[in-house]
Chain A
Amino acid sequence: MMSTVDLLFWLFATLSVGGGLSMVFSKHPVSAAMFMIVSLVGVAALFVLLESFFLAVLQVLVYAGAVMVLFLFIIMLLDVGPDAAKQKITNWKTGIFGFFTAALLVYLLVFLGNSNDFVNEGTSSWPALIEDSATSGQSLPFSTNVSSFGYGLMTKYMLPVQIAGFMLLAAMIGVIILSKKDVQQKNDG
């Protein structure tokens, strides 16, 4: 008998994996972006199952909202629809080698990761693992509310927050300079 959490996990796991696979194999870039949104929302629901509600909200807002809208905007700006869709997505040799390389990656992650015992096979239920883990005095305990998140960001992670802000500024300036009109003429002349 499956509990509700199990049912939700399998539902959203199927949603995210199926959305990802459909994204990889879809011919038209717009439909690929739509499948990607499905996958991202599935991952957001998995974040809810992991009790990270703030990050689930951020996932929907930032990824499914901003990033995918940017993707769709660029797809429609470049107008890569019908012409690019007519061509095959890949040739068979690349497909086969890509499949085996990706399968090797997943194999190494799953089986070699399991051989280390950072997740112990015997005590794999949530409460036992939480009791087992030794939390040092410096680390912040897991919490579901947003205020502890903000506390962590503003105290322990103050420098990374400022670096992230600076990096966003640099990315913004870079994008503005890249998309200026006279870049092409300067390079041509």
Chain B
Amino acid sequence: MLTVTPHHFLILSFILVGIGFFGLLIRRNVLLMLMSLELMLNGINVALLTFSRVGNNLDGGIFVFFIMTVAAAEVAVGLALLVALYKKRRSVLSDDMALLKN
């Protein structure tokens, strides 16, 4: 008999973090890199809520709340930076942002 245990939620959260990390590493489009970052934060949120639920403790849930706040602010600032960069470079690909290379 198969029932869902905390392990399932934790492993799912690790897989989500891994997918987000993978996307952050391989994608060249900075917009997609920001989205992958959001996916990583979501995976972390699942793990935090699982521990909160299992440990009978509301602190994890409140921490998820703060992570959401920080993520929303981070996306706003990141996208504003990207727009400012796009005005100068006419590109959203990270390959074209190699001014400091060499």
- Main SS at interface, chain B: helix
In the complex the two chains form, is A106's CB within 8 Å of B39's CB? no
The verdict on A94 contacting B25 (CB below 8 Å), with A6-B4, A183-B84 known, is yes
Interface Cβ pair total, 8 Å cutoff: 251
B77 within 8 A of A: yes
**Cα A50 to Cα B20 with chains together (Å):** 22
B residues near A126, Cβ cutoff 8 Å:
5-6, 53-54
- The 8 Å CB contact of B77, one of A13, A52, A124, A171, is A171
**Cα A139 to Cα B57 with chains together (Å):** 7
- The 8 Å CB contact of B57, one of A36, A40, A140, is A140
**Residue of B with least CB distance to A90:** B26
**Cα A133 to Cα B57 with chains together (Å):** 9
- The 8 Å CB contact of B8, one of A9, A63, A129, is A9
B residues near A129, Cβ cutoff 8 Å:
6, 54-55
Size of interface on A: residues with Cβ below 8 Å to B: 89
Size of interface on B: residues with Cβ below 8 Å to A: 73
In the complex the two chains form, is B10's CB within 8 Å of A36's CB? no
In the complex the two chains form, is A6's CB within 8 Å of B29's CB? no
In the complex the two chains form, is B68's CB within 8 Å of A59's CB? yes
In the complex the two chains form, is A175's CB within 8 Å of B76's CB? yes
In the complex the two chains form, is B21's CB within 8 Å of A17's CB? no
